[in-house]
Structure 1
Amino acid sequence: MEHAKEMAALGSAVQEHALSLDDFATKGHHLWVVWDGNQPIGCAALCEISPTHIELKSLRTRKAYRRKGVASQLLQFLFQKALLLGYDRMSLSTGTHEYFDAARELYIQHGFAFCLPWEGQNKTEQVEFMTREI
């Protein structure tokens, strides 16, 4: 709910990149949730682009848990999972709005670099793309 409200405030161009729960019923989609006791505090998804290339989607940490290492630990877990699943490249799209500045910093710290969109994605003023080998 927190994430949906924040994205709605940024406009429809950001919302169109969100996944629905139905998307995870298809092959090549994986979702993980981080818990603190019985409270979900973070999540991330991986979606197959090709047999060797996977997209990071929906990396999210609840506001109260941000800047405490949750997203970094989750990214390290996802790199390991992606390798185990046979992928050697991970890419992502993120917003250009200042709201996403911290996310872009995090991705750069974890080896992602800006790139052109991959097949099926379109470059817009609201979205930029990043990638890295894993």
Structure 2
Amino acid sequence: MTFTPSPASALSVRRTTVDDPLARPLLDELAYEYNLRYGSADDLDRYPPEEFAAPGGAFLLLLEQGRPVAGGAYRRYDDGTAELKRIWTHSAHRRRGLARRMLTVLEREAADAGYTRIFLTTGPRQPEAKGLYLAAGYRPLFDVSADPESIGPLPFEKHLETPKP
């Protein structure tokens, strides 16, 4: 899949790997944020890099003038479901809709790969992520009126439109 940026945006998408040096600043900042909010970034090491590689997964960077401003990945969760992970916008580039763009690209990529459903979890101390997923049409698989801290990871799902041939 190729994302064609408008001339004004100068954004492009790069399919790459978790260990690409270009991704390191985003992943380092994500680890720092996890440590601040949760006291640990262990979740970033839970899955081997191959899980985010084709054919079952993808690791993508959103680049602006060749520099990473956001990223995200998906991995195979089950035969019809992709699990989104590592969606992150660099702190210097927030409030520009970049996470939403990354989410849209990941959904399109997953649908193109044959997935019909997306599953994801976000942490209870990430209200921005919870808001993003709700605004993007994800169905919460938890009681949204409950204290997020009492739930733990907040699961969401979304059914994808299958691409037309």
TM-score of the pair, normalised by structure 2: 0.67
- Distance, in Å, in 1 between the alignment partners of 2:48 and 2:122 is 19
Runs of 5+ consecutive residues of structure 2 not aligned to the other structure = 1-27, 143-149, 161-165
- Decide which structure has greater strand share: 1
Say which of 48, 59, 62 aligns to 1:23. Answer: 48
| Bigger-Rg structure (1/2) | 2
- The residue aligned with 1:114 is 140
Amino acid at match of 2:157: T
- Distance, in Å, in 2 between the alignment partners of 1:38 and 1:4 is 22
- The residue aligned with 1:119 is none
Deviations 1:57-97 (A, max 9, x none): 01000011111011111111111111110001001010111
TM-score of the pair, normalised by structure 1: 0.81
Could you tell me the percent identity over the aligned residues? 23
Structure 1 residues 11, 102: closer, same or farther in 2, change over 3 A?
closer
- Distance, in Å, in 2 between the alignment partners of 1:75 and 1:19 is 21
Matches within 5 A, 1:76-87: 76-87=104-115
- Distance, in Å, in 1 between the alignment partners of 2:45 and 2:140 is 22
Aligned length: 123
Matched-pair contact (CA < 8 Å) for 1:113–1:130: yes
- Distance, in Å, in 1 between the alignment partners of 2:89 and 2:35 is 17
Secondary structure at 1:111's aligned position in 2? coil
